[in-house]
Structure 1
Amino acid sequence: MARPVTNAMFQEMLHAAGYGNAHAAFARQLNHAGRVHGTWRYDAASVYWWLRGRRPAEHVQATMAETFARKLARPVAVTELGFEATNVTVSASYPASASHAIDTAEKLWALLAKQLDSSPAGTFHSGDALRAALAWRYDRPDERVARSGRQLVTRADIQSLYALAEHFMNLDRRHGGGSPRTRAIMADFLVRQVAPMLRGTYTEAIGRDLMRATATLAGQLAFMFYDAGAHTSAQQHLTIALRLAKAADDRLYGAHLLANLATQAVYLGHTQDAARLAEAAIDGAGRAPAAVRARLYTTAASAYGRAGERRACETALTKAEQAIDRTDTGEIPRWATYFSPAHYAGTALKCLSDLRLPEQALRHAPVAIALTNQNARTLALHTALIAMTYARAGDIEAACHWGRELGRHLPDVRSVRVTHRIRELTTALNAYQAVPQVNALLETLRAPVPNE
């Protein structure tokens, strides 16, 4: 006696694609499409059990979606096949292969497109981050990334991805990552446009550039999630981006992504692991351009400063400053152009403030605010930090001055990190509430702001 069908979505897809009860025909097509993964021997019995609750591996599901897409002449998402569990989760584990990274990315983007407005803060898994660092650094390079699929990917397609990544990066700098709408637009673009490209047809050279461009997009979305306080989603995307950068054979961008993982770890208080991640990024970058070295050593300094390791922090700051002095604008990768002496100064200010060296910290204040309006979030972060450092040093008049300056930068910025720094500032000022100007500033800072 046949068991009842439990996966109605898969059954409907079979009928829509013209397979109906021709399960053996579908299995043959699936075997043919999956030859890039090796020899598959699925048959009508396999389809029978898939209809009744069994879940094939993620890369098999992805190939099924390609098979249906060719028959239906439209993109088909894996989520349309009905194999997803009710509460699907995507781990932050480093994918074993480029193909696995594509499968994981597609699954994650589809989930995000459905539930982005309620992205939880989640947790940061230091163990997964460290394992990802080791795999990225020491796993063998991908020998082959070329693929044969339904859609031909061209160099022009990839250039459009870089242009969009830059657009989203500018939005993030101007307004912060706290806007669910911006992240929703980006996730929808990844699902509808980028995922089909990753499943398309491309040569080795085009494929590696496609992996690099996709890593850039995923890395940017990760940073927006981090700024919004959605730490699980941020780590998942950073890990996927790191694996795609590996497939692209782009060590410099991989090191940058690893440094972003370290930055997230610092923010969440995982200081020892953050230092390990930063040092792994420095080691993995090899003979990097000075601008990249400056960024990586600045991240290491941030980890050591937060951990209270003064000598290591000062050494990293010195190396970063030396690298800035040697920077040649002609050799800076496009993704590293954002990093400026002002970004270094802001980190130095934070490091020395963490080490309870306010006088040394405040020497960096003038450079830390030498930012354009295109860096509204960073300007807000640095201004709040200057005010907080003055407050901790007991210079209340200067703290209030910079606190009022901060208020000018807040209306257009939505950032959990900015909100967190405002709370640090109000905590530092609470002891001086009896001072009229402090009390007035506290009332202003406690008012609702768009960051929440």
Structure 2
Amino acid sequence: MAARERKPNGKLAALVAECRWTSNGEFARAVNRAGTEAGYKLRYDESAVSHWLSGTRPMAKYQKVVLETLTRRLRRPVTAFEAGFADRPDIQARSGDTVTGLIDLGSMDMDPSRRGVLGAGLYSVALSIPGWPDIIGRFERLKTDPHTRIGMAEVEAVIAMTERISEIDDQFGGRTARPMAAAFMVNNIVPHLKATAGEEVRKAMLSAAADHLYLTGYMAVDERLDLLGQAYYTKALELALAADDHLTYCTTLRGMSVQAVELGHGGPALRYANAAAAASPEAGPRMRAFLAGQQAHALARTGDRTGALVMLRAAEVAMEQAESKAKAHGSYDPASLSYHAAQVNYELGDREGAIRALLHSERVRPVVYRRARVRHRAMLAEWQLEAGRLEEAVQNWHLALDDFPHVQSGRADDRFRTMLSAAQPYRRNPHIRELLDRARPIAPRTA
């Protein structure tokens, strides 16, 4: 049988021209970098791009990586049809049933055999976020179970369980706590959302569920399952809007901004941070500090020095005015503010100022936040090594290693791997050798 004649992919060629890459090799390298985020070790080069332009399509499981690369470059969604990777557009309707989506999402997350599938997703910079009016009527289609009725006691149980899981997360990391959060969502929260309830109880349950989803998304991000984290965050926004819950809506948008800036996407990080601030015009001082600190970090990542310093000062002023404490996993305290000051200073090139701010953050952080202690002490050590303060860096890495074995966290694992890489050029130094000898037996599996 004769091979099917391939036609040049004019659609892809037009997109590549619009991207203004200097060469096909630059396009290929951008795809490889995006693939690394999704857990793929791609080795595309100029010849691969030439094949795509001539009509060969990338392997199905890698097409999303190529499309996401184009999306990031063009700053707009690019579909498989638009890129010439599909013969017809995807016009299949998407269900608006949030509860059904929660069952699908949570059931996958509970199943250990699906963890690889969840980990292979690619973070999307083009994710659309639901605005406040978009959700009206969404839950009117929800079919309730006439045989089940809930009251405030069930709402209080969800809130209490979320708080307990949050405490476990702070102590031991997202990899430990998230499976139980997903199971609780599917087995307890979803039935409550389907139950008959008065309007006050119904909204309170939606709010409690949104808060639980935000926490679960945060734990997925901590495990470096970034697409999964986005999915949980998006559902949290939908439920928060349905509950008229500004606090959880804004907290979730801020969490999405934190995720984006950690992945190096300053533009989306600023978009989410600004959306959170715009949605809370009457926020109290602690919430204003909470949001302004993240805006400052995102602005610094985008290179806006003046804007970053203005927002950092706004966060400092608001923190001085704050009198009440927010809920545990959404709180913003002086340690968090100093952390943002450190990040802003570092992004703007003030390494010593960043070190001073992070040292202060470590001094005032409550002892219960063990995962943050591991990550931030390791980050402090990295900055100290960059500044030529090797012995101080080694000391802080040792402090991070004191807690590291007790924390199951993908972000903590990332800091561990960075430590190994940063210390390697100094391996002849006796302090570094001692550090590496201590670290190797407790290294994460993929370090």
TM-score, length-scaled by structure 1: 0.72
Instruction: Give the superposition deviation at 1:446.
Output: 4.1
Q: Which residue of 1 aligns with 2:150?
A: 153
- Once residues 189 and 217 of structure 2 are traced to their aligned partners in structure 1, the CA distance between those partners, rounded to angstroms, is 16
Summarize the alignment of residues 321-340 of structure 1 with structure 2, pairs less than 5 Å apart.
Answer: 321-329=316-324, 332-335=325-328, 338-340=331-333
- Once residues 305 and 430 of structure 1 are traced to their aligned partners in structure 2, the CA distance between those partners, rounded to angstroms, is 30
- Aligned partners of 1:426 and 1:442 also within 8 Å: yes
When residues 243 and 255 of structure 1 are mapped into structure 2, their CA distance, relative to the original with a 3 A threshold, is same
Instruction: Give the superposition deviation at 1:451.
Output: 8.2
Could you tell me which runs of 5 or more consecutive residues in structure 1 were left unpaired when the two chains were aligned. 1-94
Equivalent pairs: percent with the same residue? 25
Q: Which residue of 1 aligns with 2:250?
A: 255
When residues 143 and 437 of structure 1 are mapped into structure 2, their CA distance, relative to the original with a 3 A threshold, is closer
Matched, 1:163 2:163: no
Matched, 1:391 2:385: yes
- Aligned partners of 1:388 and 1:425 also within 8 Å: yes
- Aligned partners of 1:298 and 1:320 also within 8 Å: yes
- Once residues 95 and 274 of structure 2 are traced to their aligned partners in structure 1, the CA distance between those partners, rounded to angstroms, is 23
Instruction: Give the superposition deviation at 1:105.
Output: 1.1
Summarize the alignment of residues 367-382 of structure 1 with structure 2, pairs less than 5 Å apart.
Answer: 367-369=360-362, 370-382=364-376
User: Which structure has the larger Rg over C-alpha atoms?
Assistant: 1
2:408 maps to amino acid: R
Q: Which residue of 2 aligns with 1:360?
A: 353
When residues 404 and 333 of structure 1 are mapped into structure 2, their CA distance, relative to the original with a 3 A threshold, is closer
Matched, 1:176 2:169: no
Instruction: Give the superposition deviation at 1:425.
Output: 3.5
When residues 442 and 351 of structure 1 are mapped into structure 2, their CA distance, relative to the original with a 3 A threshold, is farther
- Aligned partners of 1:416 and 1:451 also within 8 Å: no
1:361 maps to amino acid: A
2:104 maps to amino acid: K
Summarize the alignment of residues 37-186 of structure 1 with structure 2, pairs less than 5 Å apart.
Answer: 100-115=97-112, 117-118=115-116, 119-128=118-127, 131-132=128-129, 135-139=130-134, 141-142=136-137, 148-149=144-145, 150-179=147-176, 182-186=177-181
Instruction: Give the superposition deviation at 1:184.
Output: 2.3
Other structure's SS at 1:196 match: helix
- Once residues 256 and 265 of structure 2 are traced to their aligned partners in structure 1, the CA distance between those partners, rounded to angstroms, is 11
- Once residues 447 and 350 of structure 1 are traced to their aligned partners in structure 2, the CA distance between those partners, rounded to angstroms, is 31
State which of 223, 229, 232 in structure 1 corresponds to 2:227. Answer: 232
State which of 405, 413, 432 in structure 2 corresponds to 1:411. Answer: 405
- Aligned partners of 1:341 and 1:367 also within 8 Å: no
Instruction: Give the superposition deviation at 1:328.
Output: 1.4
State which of 195, 219, 225 in structure 2 corresponds to 1:200. Answer: 195
Instruction: Give the superposition deviation at 1:255.
Output: 0.7
Q: Which residue of 1 aligns with 2:396?
A: 402
Instruction: Give the superposition deviation at 1:195.
Output: 1.2
Instruction: Kindly report the root-mean-square deviation, in angstroms, between the aligned alpha carbons of the 2 structures.
Output: 2.3
Q: Which residue of 2 aligns with 1:246?
A: 241
Could you tell me which runs of 5 or more consecutive residues in structure 2 were left unpaired when the two chains were aligned. 1-93
Q: Which residue of 1 aligns with 2:434?
A: 440
- Aligned partners of 2:416 and 2:443 also within 8 Å: no
* More moved, 149-158 vs 294-303: 294-303
When residues 417 and 110 of structure 1 are mapped into structure 2, their CA distance, relative to the original with a 3 A threshold, is same
Q: Which residue of 2 aligns with 1:86?
A: none
Matched, 1:349 2:342: yes
Other structure's SS at 1:285 match: coil
Give CA-to-partner distance per residue, 1:360-395, whole Å, 9 cap, x none.
112213321122331001111111121111111111
- Aligned partners of 1:418 and 1:451 also within 8 Å: no
Other structure's SS at 1:374 match: coil
Other structure's SS at 1:151 match: strand
- Aligned partners of 2:220 and 2:228 also within 8 Å: yes
Q: Which residue of 2 aligns with 1:25?
A: none
Instruction: Give the superposition deviation at 1:136.
Output: 2.2
TM-score, length-scaled by structure 2: 0.73
Other structure's SS at 2:150 match: coil
1:173 maps to amino acid: D
